A and B are shown apart, each in its own frame.
Chain A
């Protein structure tokens, strides 16, 4: 019984402390921090624009766009991403302006092995570490 309590306590404590740095590390391994610049013009009454990213956005998720900065006074935001065409829709632009947008985003790793194994890394590493606790307790 003491063993079971220890294992549960160990997993609880270790996951609590280490799960987010491990997941952050895995994300860092699976992605490339990429910054790209785009010259974007908006017409009268137009506040959105499409830009085509050179790499796949990580997990096709708009939240993986870290920042969008403009060289004019505006606060653009990423609102939609189309995975098949790598097109990112940027909104909150000022109408009738020319500007350069600098987009910082997490791109999917170009490595083929990482694209194949990447989605399972979290389970493999954290699962492996938890399995390690069980193994080490087996013949105690």
Chain B
């Protein structure tokens, strides 16, 4: 009976780890906000001021949903192991690192590119900022969530074949 609980325990563990890292994500997201407003070419970074207020929140929610999906799919398919859990935890850590790199360096680099650019290039570089930011947010939960969903679907298909 307890063996059936293991995937759920793993899922809950992932949620606890994500929540433990939530303040770090919020801190780095706060750095994104301050670095964007401090950038010389902040006006070119279209959409960033609207997005960065809730980007951290979206990212944490996405990671939490991934953790939840992981638990559900593990319990349903019994197709789980520690490496699956490490994958989800890895996604959390990679998101934090990506956000740290984005807030610490990438915004500055893009700011320099905008300064060096002319005409349409300035706008294009500015849009790049929001594209990278959205990619980090979507990548946080999306990738692992999608993989979990696919694994579950695959497992369902094979179960049908055997019936």
User: Footprint of B on A, CB under 8 Å?
Assistant: 6, 9-10, 13-14, 17-18, 21-22, 24-26, 28-29, 32, 109, 111-114, 117, 125, 128-129, 132-133, 135-137, 139-140
Contact = CB atoms under 8 A, between A and B. Distances in A.
Contact of B20 (A28, A113, A140): A28
Contacts of B23: 28-29, 32
Contacts of A114: 57
Interface in B31-89: 53-54, 56-57, 60, 64, 68, 71-76
A14 B8 contact: yes
B101 interface: no
B68 A28 contact: no
A77 B57 CA distance: 34
B53 A111 contact: yes
Contacts of B54: 111-113
12 contacts: A14-B12, A18-B15, A22-B19, A25-B15, A25-B22, A29-B19, A29-B26, A125-B64, A129-B71, A132-B8, A136-B74, A139-B76
